[in-house]
Amino acid sequence: MRPLVALGCGTLFGAGLTYAGMTDPARVLGFLDVFGDWDPALALVMAGALLVSLPAFQWARRHPRPLLDIQFFLPERFRIDADLVLGAGLFGIGWGIAGLCPGPALAGLASGMPELLLFVAAMATGMSLRSWRVRQRARAGEFECKS
Amino acid sequence: MTVGKCRRCVPMLDTGLRAALYGGLMIGAAAALFYWLNGRIAGVSGIFGDLFLDRKNGHSPWRLAFVGGLLLGYLLVRAARPELGQIHLQASPVGMVIAGLLVGYGTRMSCGCTSGHGICGVARISPRSLAATGIFMLSAMITLAVVRHSGWWP
């Protein structure tokens, strides 16, 4: 049942990204170009998403567990540390260069564009490099993110 | 749900803005349902990365299903409304590799991307996610400004 829910939610998520225009790097960069010819459209993607997710996540706090599992799985890190700040900064540089973040890049793979496959392969390499760096520091339990 | 039919629902917005809003609502609904039902954060960098970085404990089926769903969702929208979801790439192949490496390394270092921090984390009012979202938006805006105005396009 849980993989089926994941398939359904992933499909709705991918459809939403595509419908909203997030899969088009030209539109994403148009939104990020606040110092140039700013296109505010994609601010509405965030607004629309939060309109639903904000009450939904707050409402869930009143419940001990989700419908199909024994507990909610939440991140176990709470401090705003150097990894968070530096990581978000690096991610932003990549996002600003190509106009692609992980969700739209994966959804857009279905278009069959080889450049997107190149981006996703590089992204997977970057993720593996980070994982390797963490293991090298031998503090895996402390630093690895869990999904 | 076609954009044209809903002219009356949200009359002050043009077609592109309305599509952005409806797409956003779909994304928010997907994240909410995933949390209510499976109890997990719909964070794409985490789910995709753990497909090959955390292969134990039998989590692969749902992760694969979620990522497969992203592609399926793209195909469904393209089939229903071919004018939506067009892709105009902006960076050269070299730029794509540099950007991909940075996006991959950065999202795993900060434990989240636009979905996990930007949508789910902000909805949870998590201080880490609020900080991360502000930082990656600002960083992307500055990067783009530097890249566009320096005339050097990777």
Among the partner-chain residues B28, B33, B154, the one whose CB lies closest to the CB of A97 is B154
- Averaged pLDDT score across all residues of chain A: 92
- Tokens standing for A85? 């700040």
pLDDT of residue A125: 98
Q: At what angle do helices A2-20 and A43-60 cross, to 10 degrees?
A: 150
| pLDDT tens for each residue of A67-104 | 999 999 988 888 899 999 999 999 999 999 999 999 99
| Residues of A whose CB is below 8 A from B137 | 32, 92
Contacts of residue B70, Cβ cutoff 8 Å, sequence gap at least 6: A10, A11, A13, A14, A17, A103, A106, A107, B44
Looking at residue A77, its pLDDT comes to 82
Q: Write down the number of H helices and E strands in chain A.
A: 7, 0
Q: Distance (Å, rounded) from C-alpha B104 to C-alpha A136?
A: 18
List chain B residues with CB under 8 Å of A51: 24-25, 28
Q: Please, which residues 40-59 of chain B have a Cβ atom closer than 8 Å to chain A? A: 40-50, 52-54, 59
- List chain B residues with CB under 8 Å of A24: 85-88
Residue at token pair 């190149």: A118
The phi, psi pair for B76, rounded to 5°, reads -65, -45
| pLDDT range class, residue B2, cuts 50, 70, 90 | very low
Res A139: pLDDT? 56
Q: Looking at residue A84, what is its pLDDT?
A: 96
10 Å Cβ neighbour count for A29?
Answer: 25
**Which of B8-12, B97-101, B150-154 has the weakest average pLDDT?**
B8-12
CA B132 from chain centre, in angstroms, equals: 15
Number of domains making up chain B? 1
Using a CB-CB distance cutoff of 8 angstroms, which residues of chain B are in contact with residue A60?
A: 35-36
pLDDT at A124 over 80: yes
For A33, the closest of B20, B111, B144 (CB atoms) is B144
- The predicted pLDDT at position A104 comes to 98
Q: Are B19 and A19 in contact (CB under 8 A)?
A: yes
ipTM: 0.93
Residues 6+ apart with CB under 8 A from B153: B91, B92, B95, B147
> Residue B107 is part of which domain span?
4-150
Interface of B with A in 56-75 (CB under 8 A): 59, 61-75
Nearest residue, CB atoms, B24 vs list A20, A29, A106: A20
Could you report the per-residue pLDDT of B63-99, keeping only the tens digit for each? Answer: 999 999 999 999 999 999 998 989 999 999 999 999 9
Of A32, A115, A123, the CB nearest to B144: A32
Which residues in chain B are contacts of A13 at CB distance < 8 A?
26-27, 30-31, 34, 42, 44, 66, 69-70, 73, 115
Going from N- to C-terminal start, the domains of chain A cover: 2-143
Of A11, A25, A36, the closest CA to residue A95 belongs to A25
DSSP code string of A80-131? --HHHHHHHHHHHHHHHHHS--HHHHHHHGGGT-HHHHHHHHHHHHHHHHHH
pLDDT of A122 reads 98
Chain B residues 88-117 with CB within 8 Å of chain A: 88-91, 93, 95-115, 117
φ, ψ of residue B40 in degrees (nearest 5): -120, 155
B147 vs A8, higher pLDDT: A8
> Per mean pLDDT, which range of A12-26, A35-49, A121-135, B100-114 is the poorest?
A35-49
Spell out which residues of chain A touch residue B138, defining contact as CB-CB under 8 Å.
92
B149 touches chain A (CB under 8 A): yes
pLDDT-derived band of residue B16, with 50, 70 and 90 as boundaries?
confident
Query: What would the pLDDT profile of B27-54 be if each residue is shown by its tens digit?
Result: 999 999 999 999 999 999 999 999 999 9
In tens, the pLDDT along B99-120 reads 999 999 999 999 999 999 999 9
